[in-house]
Structure 1
Amino acid sequence: MDASQVDELVSRVHAQYDALRFKPSSELQFTVLAAFVLSKTSYDVGDSGSSESTTAWKVISIATGSKCLPTEKYPVKGDALHDSHAEVLSRRGAVRWTYEEIRRCLHTASGSAWIERRETDGKWAMKEGVKLHMYVSTVPCGDASMRYLASGQDPAMAALKDSSPPALPTQGSASRGRDNYALFGVLRTKPGRADSPPTRCMSCSDKIAAWSILGVQGALLAQMFEPLCVDDIVIGLGDVEESDEVLRAAVREDCDRAFFGRLGDDIQARGYRKSTPRVLFTSIDFVHSRSSRSKANGKPCNQSSNESLCWWADSETPHEVLINGVRRGVGAKLRGLELYRPRLCKVAIFRLHAGVMELLRRPKPKGSYHICKQSNPDYGIVRKALKGPDGPFHGWVISGVEWESFDVDGNIVPNTSSSESEGHIDENLNH
């Protein structure tokens, strides 16, 4: 994409966000916005022989957020979200849109402008020429944001946000949150709060890197859809002057390393291989970013919103707002009912997956969510190469089979699959 196309993409994302009329509950709060967008460029040759290009765009998912639940509050029935970072929620929204687009194709004769079913193997894929773009209103947390965050800190805090290469992790090792980036770590605590409840959640930089190999579709959708990799990642740098070429070059270098450079080139299986998305910047600031809120209030805005917006295109139901992983306004007694679950939670996606599998006349999932994710051998080979003993992410945190032992109805069922250490695929890579 050239600069005008980047601006077009960002403007469309922001326009869709504005149309949803969401904002943090306090003027003193900020949030992070992420989105997935499809594009397809066509070329028309005129009478003079010159060609003109036209690009069609489709924003397929939008989300906001920057929070995670502590491990002690993880839902055992998959009926809440433990990770509400914008990047993770928008990916889940893109996954849900893809399932629903397959369903729409099966119910209508017109098909889709974006996806199609291959005749060779019956799998679905994006149509030729369709590209997938990811937008994030700020640099994703973790490895990619080291020098970006350090640039705005005093020397003592900048030292915490060190840019040295991360040490190889050990299972269950300590914090890799907004601080101490030289540690790979897997159990995150709040900065300055050693006693705060840990959460089993990797940084968004780590998740994007995993998606660069495994695809954003996850293990379940991979049973019917080819690996879906991001072509471009557009990042908001509205608070960095375009003339600051040194910092922008540093951020680009960090993003390239974080998203794909630190991964080996030999991790692959049938249909899976490392992708290298282009990192592009935009100076168009997000209206509810930290910098925008600070300028509007005339003082620093340092409190992130607890609420998360979730939206995906062509849905029959409106967007929803989450707080602490559940739908805002839903009481504790109703949260376990299907009608009131977040539609991006594990069990909701699992149920949607089962319904689409039935429409495709393929075997309906049996057993637990955990077991169903193990049924794609090619995906499992790549996941093991990425997170196994010899992989670049061998210390990847495992959320645990105890939080994935539910069926499509949300009932707890026994697991009879291989051991957790051999068979688990973390939710942050899948659903």
Structure 2
Amino acid sequence: MEISGDEIADVVLRRFDAWESKRKPLKRTNGVREWVPLSGIVAQRQGSKSLTCLAIATGMKCLPQKSITRANGVVLHDWHAEILAIRSFNRFLLEECHALAVSQKKSSEYIRFRDGSERTESHFQPFALRDGINIHMYCSEAPCGDASMELTMASQEDSTPWAMPTATTPSSPPNQSQTPSPTTEPTSLHGRGYFSQLGVVRRKPSRPDAPPTLSKSCTDKIALKQSTSVLSSLTSLLISPHNIYLHSLVLPSSQLSPVAANRAFSPSGRLKPLSGRKWEGGYAFKPFRVISTEKEFEYSRRQTGVKELVSSNISSSWTHHGSETIIGGTLQGRKQFDIKGASRVCKRRMWKLALDVSVLASVPALERLLRVERYADVKGGGLLEGRRRVKEDVRGVLTGWMRNEGGEGFGIEGVER
């Protein structure tokens, strides 16, 4: 039974409405109001219109490339709402695995243990999402990157396409306020620059005077999830990816360009070479449907009757297992890069939770991998080889994907799960 975009959006918006006011954008007394993107993950029982919001998040910032080496698994690299919602959903799944392993039951409402007969050398995970569940995603704004370029062009005072330069310097990406450098390559573009170039990988947009980032756009990261599933690397060590792909992406009708969505996400667009593709380990290219909603988020960029709109510098995440507010990739009230400010969804705490689950679930191979000294050793481990192959194949199609490398030499010490 197909569910409508309005029904999916409504579940997320009602959950956000229940948040405390201190976690929402400000309505200032001088008439200025803040705006922020909102994203959420919703579960639907197949054959039913029963919907449950499992994770939601707000946010619109990411870490500059120069600060990646200082993050040490404590500071988030990217807390745009879409990415933070997916990370929060992964935290929710790990918490479900932990609770199931503690209870020693065979299944919970969402997660089940896999039988030994289901598990193979390449498809080894001890847990799986229960059958008959569709996963939907709602976004209050068009994801930054290729899926929003028609909207970006329409908002320009002068929509004349920029002349394309010839090569690039990755450490110094161009910005819109500067004359394009002759060393700029069209396959790796900065933010919304050169908006006439379509179907290419883009980095997160930022102010012209902001330090550059190599964090890929939300469009590109969500497109990748159509092949890797919505699971992160750590979560994919514990949960089978085979039935945990997005079924729908919901955008407000004001933010949905069918042409852009088709180009960015569909098997008839830039991802055409992946159509019908399957890999070992339960991975496959599974495109989602993109549908619209007429519902608008109260704190979107389209607020009416407002004197002035400014972006919010806080972001928040929520799941049934907990919530938190984040500033600068760190828990609100803590210094950036301080281990005491580690978010529940940061790499180090997610790693610790995954290790605890592997011990409780008695999976020695996973425990050995997760007890290594460095996070880089986890990511480079043999059990993630299949997932790495999927990512390499997709990146080969999404040309211009520049790795945001560095800062993976940290250990698991200093944090609780």
TM-score, with normalisation over the residues of structure 2?
Answer: 0.81
Q: Distance in 1 between matches of 2:44 and 2:167?
A: 38
Written as runs of structure 1 = structure 2, the 5 A alignment for 1:353-392 is 353-363=354-364, 364=367, 365=370, 366-375=372-381, 376-387=384-395, 391-392=396-397
Q: Which of 194, 201, 214 lines up with 1:200 in the alignment?
A: 214
Other-structure match for 2:286: 275
CA distance in 1, matches of 2:161, 2:251: 23
- Distance in 2 of aligned mates of 1:123 and 1:106: 10
Are 1:41 and 1:129, in contact at CA under 8 Å, matched by a contact in 2?
Answer: yes
Q: Does 1:236 align with 2:252?
A: yes
Quote the offset at 1:218 in angstroms.
Answer: 1.9
3-state SS, counterpart of residue 283 of structure 2: coil
Secondary structure of the corresponding residue to residue 284 of structure 1: coil
The CA distance in 2 between the partners of 1:279 and 1:323, in whole Å, is: 31
Q: Give the residue type in structure 2 aligned to 1:98.
A: L
SS in 2 for 1:255: helix
Aligned counterpart, 1:95: 90
SS in 2 for 1:199: coil
How many angstroms does 1:41 deviate by?
A: 3.5
Could you say if the C-alpha distance between residues 12 and 76 of structure 1 is closer, same or farther in structure 2, counting changes exceeding 3 Å?
A: closer
CA 201–26 in structure 1, closer or farther in 2 if over 3 Å, else same: farther
User: Could you report, residue by residue, the CA deviation over 1:111-166 in whole angstroms, capped at 9, with x for unpaired residues?
Assistant: 31222222111632222210000110111111001112322332x1x34699x9xx
Contact kept, 8 Å, 1:172 with 1:185, in 2: the verdict is no
Matches of 1:118 and 1:258 in 2, distance apart? 34
Match of 1:349 in 2: 350
Any idea what the Cα deviations from partners look like across 1:253-272, whole Å, max 9, x if unmatched?
Answer: 21122124312226542121
Q: Deviations over 1:333-381 (max 9, x none)?
A: 9x323xx411111111111111111112123211211221222121121
Query: Shift of residue 309 of structure 1?
Result: 0.8
- Residue 326 of structure 1 deviates from its aligned partner by 0.8
- SS for the counterpart of 1:254 is helix
Q: Which runs of 5+ in 1 are unaligned?
A: 43-53, 241-247, 412-431
Question: Which residue pairs with 2:302 in the alignment?
Answer: 291
Q: d(CA) in 2 for partners of 1:380 and 1:285?
A: 37
CA contact (8 A) 1:78 1:410 kept: no
Identify the residue that residue 185 of structure 2 maps to in structure 1: none
**Secondary structure in structure 2 of the residue aligned to 1:235:** strand
What is the match of residue 234 of structure 2? 220
Aligned to 1:420: none
Partners of 2:97 and 2:89 lie apart in 1 by 12
Pairing of 1:157-196 with structure 2 (within 5 A) = 158-159=159-160, 174=173, 175-181=189-195, 182=197, 184=200, 190-191=206-207, 193=208, 196=210
Identical counterparts, % of pairs: 29
> Once the 2 structures are TM-superposed, how far is the Cα of residue 8 of structure 1 from its aligned partner?
2.2
Cα deviation for residue 83 of structure 1 reads 0.9
Offset at residue 188 of structure 1 (A): 5.5
Aligned length: 369
SS in 2 for 1:63: strand
1:219-264 deviation line (CA, Å, top 9, x unaligned): 2211221222101001123x47xxxxxxx5xx12211221243122
The 1-side partners of 2:259 and 2:229 are apart by 22
Secondary structure, aligned partner of 1:11: helix
Letter in 2 for 1:71: Q
Assess if the C-alpha contact under 8 Å between 1:134 and 1:230 holds in 2: yes
Alignment of 1:73-112 (within 5 A): 73-74=67-68, 75-108=70-103, 109=105, 111-112=107-108
Alignment check: 8 A CA contact 1:132 1:230 kept: yes
For 2:412 and 2:221, the matched residues in 1 are separated by 25
* Alignment correspondent of 2:53: 59
Of 392, 401, 407, the match for 1:403: 407
Question: Which of the residues 263, 274, 278 maps onto 1:265?
Answer: 274
Distance 1:308 1:269, change over 3 A: same
Which residue, out of 390, 398, 412, partners 1:393? 398
Select the residue among 113, 117, 121 that pairs with 2:113.
117
Task: Give the CA RMSD over aligned residues.
Answer: 2.8
Q: Secondary structure at the match of 2:260?
A: helix
Do structure 1's residue 23 and structure 2's residue 31 form an aligned pair? Answer: no
Aligned residue in 2 for 1:35: 40
